[in-house]
Amino acid sequence: MVKNIALLGSTGSIGVQTLEVIDEHKDDFIVKIISGHKNVQRLLEQALKYKPEYVIVTHEKSYEILKKELSTFPIKVILGEKEIAKVYQEVNLDLVIGAISGAAGIPSVLAALELGIDVALANKETIVVAGNIVKRIQKKTGAKIIPVDSEHSAIFQCLTGHEKAVSGLLITASGGPFRNLSPDELHKVTPEMALNHPTWSMGNKITIDSATLMNKGLEIIEAHFLFNVAYENINAIIHPQSIVHSMVLYGDGSVLAHLGLPDMRVPIQYALTYPERKNNSFPKLDLLKIKELEFLKPDTEKFPCLNLAYRAGKIGYTMPAVLNAANEIAVELFMQKDIGFMDIPKLVEEVMQKHEIVKEFDFKDLLEVDKWARIECKKIKDRM
Ligand SMILES: NC(=O)C1=CN([C@@H]2O[C@H](COP(=O)(O)OP(=O)(O)OC[C@H]3O[C@@H](n4cnc5c(N)ncnc54)[C@H](OP(=O)(O)O)[C@@H]3O)[C@@H](O)[C@H]2O)C=CC1
Ligand SMILES: CC(=O)[C@@H](O)[C@H](O)COP(=O)(O)O
Ligand SMILES: [Mn+2]
């Protein structure tokens, strides 16, 4: 069956790799919608190559340029996501790929789920911030989420058919570029050093999160909601080679693992072709070349973000949204060299301490909480 797809965040790391997967399977997909924010040149090239019906742009300047450049083509360019539900319906979608970074990627995913459209989800923030709301919508519409995040794709593939016998999840983490640094050295690292990920090539925000281990923290919350496993039974394990992408532990003592090269095109392809598994020409794993697979305990004293995420997840309600928003701002501040690397967990923790959780909330309330946490994080930084 040919699938009509919308690729949100087509100009990013996941977006570009998704298009590489589509190039491998040209007859299986029609790109109906692409979207971007500031990377006009790349969005224009993609529009000319894939001829989607819609290009959605969320940045005003980019919109003006694209509208002009694409005026002679049968491609509609729209500014912002207000009309996204209408656009989804008009192009008769089979699958939305959520690959925008940060909380900005949540509304377009929720809109798809509300319409009963399945989502291949890279944007982990959707689950971290709005996990309960997502589940409520899925119950109502039956829309499925097929995880793209490599660890969750691994777990998804190791789970199928045996969900009831699961005793735990082991989420692998590369440990990032600073795994072996001392606490003193960690205080002095720069954004350039943090962006040098040892095994994966990804967008800036998630790469910094890998260095602080916040990425693993967000992934633990993501796994809790996606697979209905209690936090007590989800553990992170450092695996510097990034070959084992995660493991599922079963009550009978079996451990099922998913292995592969650190290449996001593999989980992206699985999410796109699911429930089928297809061949491709991408490089394949040769374990004789890898030789060693190590597994180590994470150091949560040096990398406090992991425990902050457990704390936010266990408190639940609006706290994961606070964790995420404060972290987005702290990472931005670190990237601008306004704060040091070890100030990231400090700021996140302080914002969490100030938050009074709300137990009854809808998505609008979550947006308010997100806004509050961002402002609070900046205020605390100004007082530092
Ligand atoms: N990269 C990876 O390997 C992995 C990523 N993920 C997750 O996937 C998501 C995307 O990550 P990644 O591809 O690395 O990120 P990138 O930074 O590479 O790309 C982000 C995409 O989102 C768009 N974007 C940024 N800000 C906005 C906004 N305010 N409104 C609308 N669109 C916006 C960007 O547009 P533009 O570039 O035009 O400005 C770009 O298309 C994240 O949630 C990440 O955690 C999960 C696992 C692995
Ligand atoms: C590729 C992927 O899924 C990332 O989330 C990856 O896991 C990041 O690397 P870390 O394991 O260092 O967080
Ligand atoms: Mn991941």
Query: What is the atom index within ligand 1 of the atom nearest the CA of 205?
Result: 17
CATH number at residue 77: 3.40.50.720
How long a stretch of residues is the chain? 384
CATH number at residue 318: 1.10.1740.10
Total domains, the chain = 2
Pair 139, 156 in one domain: no
Output the residue whose Cα is nearest ligand 2's atom 5.
Answer: 149
Whose atoms come closest to the Cα of 14: which ligand?
A: 1
Pair 121, 94 in one domain: yes
Give the per-residue pLDDT at 192.
98
Contact 11, 42 (CB under 8 A): yes
- CA 119 to chain centroid, in Å, comes to 13
Rounded CA Rg of the chain: 20
Pair 106, 166 in one domain: no
CB atoms within 10 A of CB 25: 15
Interval 102-113 mean pLDDT = 98
Pair 173, 230 in one domain: yes
CA gap 323, 313 in Å, rounded: 9
Give the per-residue pLDDT at 34.
98
Contact 81, 306 (CB under 8 A): no
Distances (CA, A) of 44 to 38, 41, 55, 78: 11, 5, 9, 13
Q: Where are the beta strands (DSSP E) in the chain?
A: 3-8, 29-36, 54-57, 76-79, 95-98, 118-121, 145-147, 166-173, 234-238, 244-250, 255-259
Output the residue whose Cα is nearest ligand 2's atom 2.
Answer: 150
CB atoms within 10 A of CB 131: 19
- pTM of the entire predicted model: 0.98
Domain boundary among 129, 147, 165: 147
Give the per-residue pLDDT at 16.
98
Tell whether 327 is in a known binding site.
no
CA gap 63, 335 in Å, rounded: 26
Q: What is the pLDDT of residues 3-43, one digit of tens each?
A: 999 999 999 999 999 999 999 999 999 999 999 999 999 99
Q: Is residue 212 part of a domain?
A: yes
Pair 171, 140 in one domain: no
Pair 207, 293 in one domain: yes
> Is the four-CA dihedral 139, 141, 146, 151 of positive or negative sign?
negative
CB atoms within 10 A of CB 373: 26
- Residue ranges lining ligand 1, Cβ < 6 Å: 9, 11-15, 36-39, 58, 99-101, 104-105, 122-125, 149, 200, 202-206, 264
Pair 236, 344 in one domain: yes
Pair 110, 209 in one domain: no
CA gap 115, 188 in Å, rounded: 48
Q: Is residue 271 part of a domain?
A: no
Domain boundary among 147, 168, 189: 147
Whose atoms come closest to the Cα of 40: which ligand?
A: 1
Q: What is the pLDDT of residues 316-371, one digit of tens each?
A: 999 999 999 999 999 999 999 999 999 999 999 999 999 999 999 999 999 999 99
Give yes or no for a cis peptide into 304 (omega within 30° of 0).
no
Start-to-end Cα distance in the chain: 57
Whose atoms come closest to the Cα of 214: which ligand?
A: 2
Q: Is residue 332 part of a domain?
A: yes
Give the per-residue pLDDT at 124.
98
Tell whether 286 is in a known binding site.
no
For the chain, the average pLDDT equals 98
Domain boundary among 97, 121, 147: 147
Tell whether 123 is in a known binding site.
yes
Ligand 3 center to 112 CA (angstroms): 22
Contact 348, 330 (CB under 8 A): yes
- CA 29 to chain centroid, in Å, comes to 22
User: Would the ipTM clear 0.85, i.e. be above it?
Assistant: yes
Pairing type for strands 234-238 and 244-250 reads unpaired
Output the residue whose Cα is nearest ligand 1's atom 40.
Answer: 12
Tokens coding 92: 């008769």
Q: In sequence order, what are the residues at sequence separation of 6 or more whose Cβ sits closer than 8 angstroms to the Cβ of residue 211?
A: 176, 177, 178, 189, 194, 197, 341
CA gap 256, 247 in Å, rounded: 6
Ligand 3 center to 223 CA (angstroms): 11
Give the per-residue pLDDT at 160.
81
Tokens coding 120: 């291949």
Ligand 2 center to 207 CA (angstroms): 8
User: Residue 161: which pLDDT band, with cuts at 50, 70 and 90?
Assistant: confident
> Is the four-CA dihedral 212, 312, 324, 35 of positive or negative sign?
positive
Find the domain containing 127 and state its range.
3-147
Burial of 162 (0-12, 13-18, 19+ CB in 10 A): middle
Ligand 3 center to 197 CA (angstroms): 13
Contact 351, 373 (CB under 8 A): yes
Give the per-residue pLDDT at 330.
98
Give the per-residue pLDDT at 317.
98
pLDDT exceeds 90 at position 184: yes
Ligand 1 center to 166 CA (angstroms): 32
Tell whether 216 is in a known binding site.
yes
Q: What is the pLDDT of residues 42-66, one digit of tens each?
A: 999 999 999 999 999 999 999 999 9
Pair 139, 217 in one domain: no
Choose one of 37, 65, 213, 328 to mutate for the ligand 1 pocket test, by most ligand atoms within 8 angstroms of C-beta: 37
Tell whether 204 is in a known binding site.
no
Interval 180-209 mean pLDDT = 98
Pair 9, 135 in one domain: yes
CA proximity to 6, closest of 103, 70, 78: 78
Q: Which residues pair with 146 in a beta bridge?
A: 120
Q: In sequence order, what are the residues at sequence separation of 6 or more whose Cβ sits closer than 8 angstroms to the Cβ of residue 325?
A: 103, 129, 351, 369, 370, 371, 373, 374, 377
Give the per-residue pLDDT at 147.
98
CA proximity to 321, closest of 379, 362, 260: 362
